[in-house]
Chain A
Amino acid sequence: MVAPANDTSIAMMHVPASERSPGPIETFVYDDAIVRKFMGVTILWGVVAFLVGLIVALELVIPSVIGYTTASGNQPFAFLSFLTNVQYLTFGRLRPLHTNAAIFAFGGNAIFAAVYYSTQRLCKARMWSDRLSNLHFWGWQLIIVLAALTLPLGITSSKEYAELEWPIDVLIAVVWLGFFGTNFFMTLKNRRERHMYVALWFYIATIVTVTMLHVFNSLAVPVSLFKSYSVYAGVQDAMMQWWYGHNAVAFFLTTPFLGLMYYFLPKAADRPVYSYRLSIVHFWSLVFTYIWAGPHHLHYTALPAWASTLGMLFSVMLWMPSWGGGINGLLTLRGAWHKLTDDPVLKFFVVGITFYMMSTFEGPMLSVKTVNMLSHYTDWTIAHVHAGALGWNGFMTFGMIYYLAPRLFQTGLYSKKLAEWHFWLGTLGILLYIIPIYIAGITQGLMWRAFDQTGNLQFPDFVETVMRLMPFYWIRVVGGSLFLMGSLLLAYNVIRTWMKRPAVYEEPVQTAPALRPERVEAPVFASRLTANCEFGHKGDVMIQRIASGFWHRVWEGTPWKFTFWTIVAVASASVLELIPLFAIRSNVPSIASVQPYTPLELAGRDIYISEGCYNCHSQMIRPIWAETKRYGEYSKPGEFVYDHPFQWGSRRIGPDLAREGGLRSNLWHLLHFQDPRQSVAQSIMPSYAHLIDETLDYDGLTARVKAHALIGVPYGDAVKPGRAAELARAQAAIIAEDIAASGGPAGLAERKIVALIAYLQRLGTDISRPPPTENGLPDTPSP
């Protein structure tokens, strides 16, 4: 069969020949200017994201060298200490900047470039509104700039990959759905090709699901322009967060990039995707299973076991469609493998897909509880993420850019050789990143759980397990630098290509027949049963109708139906998974002795959030022997009912802090924050001396307490004007006195550090306290 010269829609196959006449021929021009813009900023933000990544990687190794002294008494690396003591640059504040830049600035703009280029062509239509395209572009860049300003300033919600504060969240919703979504769906509506190609399905799923995830995870009560509290607490907040977090991986880093793959790989290879059938299963099974997988981030935590088991099951199921999709991509090159030798675009795509398959094999494996018991909180997760982010998202994006640059700038690529160099530097960079970090992760996991012959922890000193990782962290710095260098070559190559562009871009006029209103006739089925049973006949007809697959055919040509069913799939899965956790009491048994934080502790908690301590410290002890031995009694769901937002963390670069309360003296904490290395010589924790100088805003406490009261925290009369500050000052005085009495500096009562210490001293102590007799705040906080 030869493809019909004048492409009529496949839905027409069901249309009587008499009605198959195409609509009037229309002419139009694609908007490539917007694609050029998105492609440019993708490269720019990519370089920034990789650079910040390199800086945070350095921050984990340089504390071990700044104290290095030569024989002559010089300290050649001392000048690097700004990376550990300038508050705006500390690991806790920069790491969210790195992740957000990589995902939403680099990944996001890459997605938009792909969507704007391919959607227009697959729909045979210009984007619906140039104005919306541009509002989308500038709105998104504004969000990125705001993120780059607020995160280093410590303005954060502390929910991983959703750290931005509420005004920016509102802006994201407007730009994403209002500008991008509207523009996309209206373009679909006005398309000139009946069949929506599979890439478009992936884009649809991306837009609707990300909207849903973003809105529900970000619900919060504002205190001020820069501060809000999650409406969810503890276990439920954790569940929402990882429902969001994992689906950000699914619907921001996977589905749109699969759309990219399904569009650009066939173009670059000049042959259709291996199996279009397989792509249909790939799509629906991803949409139907991914949404359930989130709880695998919370194995052995205080999350109810049924939820985490469900997450595990669906994660394991995910392996199949993911590999189906990966194989579909690779086999697209059947008969064209020779092209790989001299086409950098295909090289990037093939390695990208290979990393996709590697990560989607590893992911299900890590969601198996027993594997997760070892891997959770270690660098294994970090290696896994980077195989996906650098290998899959990075390389697919680079491949796309090398494909697009010559077409968008309408001239040859400046240098194919540099592109080859980029490919090799990038590949080597990824390997030098992930291999040592895998080793680091497994090493640390094994050290945490190692016991000696006497039944004691073999490495009771946490910092010992940190020191063991330093050589691997250094190799990562090298790997990351190579990857960054590769991206600089890309930037140079694209700029030089751009400089060769023609004075005026050619804008080829496209032609296609307008889409006729759909007139698809459903096949008619007759019951095959002989028995005289009305119900049976109906049933048989229904079975035949479902089995005919006709319904899916209709969806493929009707955007709103397709979108509707996608929303049904993701929303029903989410509701079914989340509702029981929120609604059923037994999922979060309450503990009588657990009381709200005092106003001072609350202020300390806000400092903890703002400094991003959760990037290095967990607050969740799993019921595992090695863990209860190291940290104490395991964490119970009822302990977190006042934690808006939860602070369980996901990585232990430092020790767990869930039972830190009472473990150390106030003075110890003070000296440790001033400079961790004066307490623990090999510590890689940043210095927080600024907290000792800065004063605490006591008057602002009432607003914070009130916001909590609004979401159900029983603060009693602490919400009355001035009362919160009064309570806080009383508690601060006790701590400040204790510090002075133990030989520390005097007069700290008004300083931020006191609040933070108060919070740490409270952590995990409630369960060993007698329940209060009257309701209200516990009266004497422990010093």
Chain B
Amino acid sequence: MRLSDIMSAMGLAIYPTIALFIFLAVFIGVLIRIGRRGDNDALTRAGRLPLVDDAPPRGVGDRVHRTEIHR
């Protein structure tokens, strides 16, 4: 008896389908997470991280990042 005989007898074929549902469930979980209110401040701040990370070196006519916050 070979390994593949044993595996074949185990009826694993249903698992990809089950996995499909698990993955959808997690997806919905993430949707809920972002749909929640109350996180606005934290998320707004997180979204601004790239704009507050760096002092521009000389020579670059770089605007100092002082954008107003959009809410």
In residues 121-139 of chain A, which contact B (Cβ within 8 Å)? 121-122, 124
User: CB within 8 A of A7: which of B42, B50, B52, B56?
Assistant: B52
Cβ contact within 8 Å between A576 and B19: yes
Total of A-B residue pairs, C-beta within 8 Å = 159
Cβ contact within 8 Å between A583 and B30: no
A553 to B35, CA, bound (A): 14
Cβ contact within 8 Å between A267 and B50: yes
Cβ contact within 8 Å between B50 and A306: no
Cβ contact within 8 Å between B52 and A3: yes
Chain A residues closer than 8 Å to B12, beta-carbon distance: 579-580, 583-584
Contact flag A193-B49 (CB < 8 Å), given A1-B41, A10-B42: yes
Cβ contact within 8 Å between B7 and A583: yes
Cβ contact within 8 Å between B44 and A1: yes
User: CB within 8 A of A281: which of B4, B15, B31, B41?
Assistant: B31
Cβ contact within 8 Å between A580 and B15: yes
* Chain A proximity of B20: nearest CB distance (Å): 7
Size class of the contact patch on chain B: 35 or more
Cβ contact within 8 Å between A288 and B26: yes
A2 to B45, CA, bound (A): 9
Cβ contact within 8 Å between A585 and B4: yes
| Interface membership of A615, Cβ < 8 A | no
Contact flag A288-B7 (CB < 8 Å), given A1-B69, A272-B51, A281-B30: no
A632 to B65, CA, bound (A): 66
* Chain B proximity of A401: nearest CB distance (Å): 15
Contact flag A272-B70 (CB < 8 Å), given A10-B42, A10-B45, A306-B16: yes
A118 to B50, CA, bound (A): 8
| Interface membership of A455, Cβ < 8 A | no
Contact flag A508-B63 (CB < 8 Å), given A1-B69, A272-B70, A276-B47: no
Size class of the contact patch on chain A: 35 or more
Cβ contact within 8 Å between A13 and B41: yes
A277 to B42, CA, bound (A): 11
In residues 185-204 of chain A, which contact B (Cβ within 8 Å)? 193, 195, 197-199
In residues 35-71 of chain B, which contact A (Cβ within 8 Å)? 35-36, 39, 41-63, 65, 67, 69-71
Cβ contact within 8 Å between B69 and A3: yes
A30 to B62, CA, bound (A): 18
User: CB within 8 A of B55: which of A195, A262, A510?
Assistant: A510
A556 to B30, CA, bound (A): 13
Cβ contact within 8 Å between A285 and B30: yes
Chain B residues closer than 8 Å to A506, beta-carbon distance: 57-58
Cβ contact within 8 Å between B57 and A585: no
User: CB within 8 A of B60: which of A263, A407, A579, A583?
Assistant: A407
* Chain A proximity of B19: nearest CB distance (Å): 4
Cβ contact within 8 Å between A406 and B34: no
In residues 539-592 of chain A, which contact B (Cβ within 8 Å)? 546-549, 552-553, 556, 569, 572-573, 576-577, 579-580, 583-586
User: CB within 8 A of B48: which of A3, A13, A585?
Assistant: A3
| Interface membership of A289, Cβ < 8 A | yes
| Interface membership of A278, Cβ < 8 A | yes
Task: Kindly name the residue among A267, A277, A289 whose own CB sees the greatest number of chain B CB atoms within 10 A.
Answer: A277
Which of chain B's residues has its CB closest to A275's CB?
B47
Contact flag A284-B23 (CB < 8 Å), given A276-B43, A580-B13: no
Which of chain B's residues has its CB closest to A279's CB?
B47
| Interface membership of A270, Cβ < 8 A | yes
User: CB within 8 A of A285: which of B27, B41, B62?
Assistant: B27
Cβ contact within 8 Å between B26 and A284: yes
Chain A residues closer than 8 Å to B20, beta-carbon distance: 310, 313
Chain A residues closer than 8 Å to B58, beta-carbon distance: 410, 502, 506
A379 to B42, CA, bound (A): 47
Chain B residues closer than 8 Å to A310, beta-carbon distance: 16, 20
A264 to B50, CA, bound (A): 8
Cβ contact within 8 Å between B61 and A412: yes
Task: Kindly name the residue among B3, B26, B71 whose own CB sees the greatest number of chain A CB atoms within 10 A.
Answer: B26
Cβ contact within 8 Å between B8 and A584: yes
Task: Kindly name the residue among B15, B20, B56, B57 whose own CB sees the greatest number of chain A CB atoms within 10 A.
Answer: B57
Chain B residues closer than 8 Å to A270, beta-carbon distance: 51, 63, 65, 67
Cβ contact within 8 Å between A584 and B69: no
Contact flag A122-B52 (CB < 8 Å), given A13-B41, A285-B30, A584-B13: no
* Chain B proximity of A160: nearest CB distance (Å): 25
Chain A residues closer than 8 Å to B7, beta-carbon distance: 583-584
* Chain B proximity of A569: nearest CB distance (Å): 8
User: CB within 8 A of B43: which of A263, A266, A277, A584?
Assistant: A277
A266 to B8, CA, bound (A): 52
* Chain A proximity of B44: nearest CB distance (Å): 7
Chain A residues closer than 8 Å to B47, beta-carbon distance: 266, 272-273, 275-276, 279
* Chain B proximity of A543: nearest CB distance (Å): 10
Contact flag A583-B33 (CB < 8 Å), given A197-B50, A502-B59: no
| Interface membership of A411, Cβ < 8 A | yes
Contact flag A199-B30 (CB < 8 Å), given A2-B69, A407-B57, A549-B39: no
A212 to B46, CA, bound (A): 30
1/0 contact trace for A170-212 toward B, CB 8 Å?
0000000000000000000000010101110000000000000
Chain B residues closer than 8 Å to A267, beta-carbon distance: 50-51
1/0 contact trace for A299-321 toward B, CB 8 Å?
00000001000100100000000
Chain A residues closer than 8 Å to B34, beta-carbon distance: 277-278, 280-281, 549
| Interface membership of A20, Cβ < 8 A | no
Cβ contact within 8 Å between B16 and A583: no
Cβ contact within 8 Å between A271 and B70: yes
Cβ contact within 8 Å between B69 and A284: no
Contact flag A573-B23 (CB < 8 Å), given A197-B49, A276-B44, A410-B57: yes
* Chain B proximity of A581: nearest CB distance (Å): 10
A288 to B8, CA, bound (A): 27
A13 to B42, CA, bound (A): 8
Chain A residues closer than 8 Å to B42, beta-carbon distance: 10, 13, 553
Cβ contact within 8 Å between B71 and A1: yes
Which residues of B come within 8 Å of A, CB atoms?
3-5, 7-8, 12-13, 15-16, 19-20, 23, 26-27, 29-36, 39, 41-63, 65, 67, 69-71
> Could you write out 8 A-B pairs with CB less than 8 Å apart?
A121-B53, A267-B50, A284-B26, A289-B23, A506-B57, A547-B36, A580-B12, A584-B13
A275-B47, A278-B34, A510-B54 provided; 14 other pairs, C-beta below 8 A? Answer: A3-B52, A7-B52, A122-B53, A264-B50, A284-B30, A410-B58, A410-B59, A506-B58, A573-B19, A579-B12, A579-B15, A580-B15, A583-B3, A585-B8
